[in-house]
Structure 1
Amino acid sequence: MKICDNRDLKILNPYHYHMDLYVENEKQWLFYRYNVLKMIALGHYLSKKLWSDDCVLMNNNNKIKNQMK
């Protein structure tokens, strides 16, 4: 029997076909988790940056107010 393409392999060995699906699903799951972790890290970084920028602005405003007195 001559194997023509990948579809014939799926018929001959369904275990490998299911393993391919499992590996593909696992890759998608890992990619999804990676993207979620990137978003969490970005949110954490931005919130720290905004918080520190706000503190700097508040300190500058307090200095200006004290100088105006």
Structure 2
Amino acid sequence: MTDYRTPTTFRRYRLPLRALLIDDRAWFLCRDLAKLASFRPDIDLSLKLDPNQLRTEVLRLEDGTFSEEQ
């Protein structure tokens, strides 16, 4: 697999915030933003975003596995 990105992980309030730099723009993972914003787990944060604010990417995680994330 060659079409993947490796996120940079930041820590905020002891929680991870994974980010990607794509075309000179910062993109953050919805799951991480939802945890930081204290959204309930049953609410899908991506439903609150405009289509141009969403992007699905294949990420290479720290343990070497791959995950498809928004």
Normalising TM by the smaller chain, what interval?
under 0.3
Structure with a larger share of its residues in helix: 1
* More contact order relative to length (CA 8 Å, sep ≥ 6): 2
Give the TM-score, by structure 2 length: 0.18
Structure whose CA Rg is larger: 1
Structure with a larger share of its residues in strand: 2
